Amino acid sequence: MKKLLIALSLIPAVSSADETLYGKWQGQVEFQVSMDGNLVPESHAVTDVVLSIDQRGKVVGESKENGCRILGLATPGPMPSILNVGLNLSGCNYPGLNERFNGLFSFYKKDGYAVLSLNGTRIKLGAPSKSFFMKGNFRY
């Protein structure tokens, strides 16, 4: 009687692009708020931002220049090099930036950088509509 021995190795399937999405990122980010489609000048800033994305998806960061603290969650996106991101800003010098932002963090491995593109809208009956966005380029 012959015995057959089969060994299985259970290793999660993670592409090299996934592995490099996580870690500490530094870059310049543009912040902006519009009310009824008009830019609020005091909200507009381009500042240095540091973001850390851990393997479980927690995102923490800050922009010292405009006082914003960043906290949120990143989840797998439509492609291995893209994360869906939801971030809350707090403590910002311009209080109108203290909002929930949603969008994408996209990594361009070949070129060695990532792009953060987030926005949000607040519509309240009888009040001006508010839209806000953050966009920036990051490197390790």
In a domain, 5, yes or no: no
Residue 90 lies in a domain: yes
Domain count, the chain: 1
Over the stretch 99-132, which tens digit does the pLDDT of each residue have?
A: 999 999 999 999 999 999 999 999 999 999 999 9
Whether residue 42 lies inside any domain: the answer is yes
**Domain coverage including residue 31:** 19-139
Q: Give 74-89 pLDDT, tens digit per residue.
A: 999 999 999 999 999 9
Q: Any idea what the CATH number is for the domain that residue 41 is in?
A: 2.40.128
pLDDT at site 4: 36
Q: Buried (b) or exposed (e) across 101-126, using 16+ Cβ within 10 A?
A: bebbbbbeeeeeebbbebebeeeeee
Q: Is residue 98 part of a domain?
A: yes
pLDDT tier for residue 140 given thresholds of 50, 70 and 90: confident
Q: pLDDT by residue (tens digit) across 6-55?
A: 332 222 333 444 457 999 999 999 999 999 999 999 999 999 999 999 99
What is this structure's pTM?
0.84
- What distance in Å separates the CA atoms of residue 105 and residue 28, rounded to the nearest whole number? 14
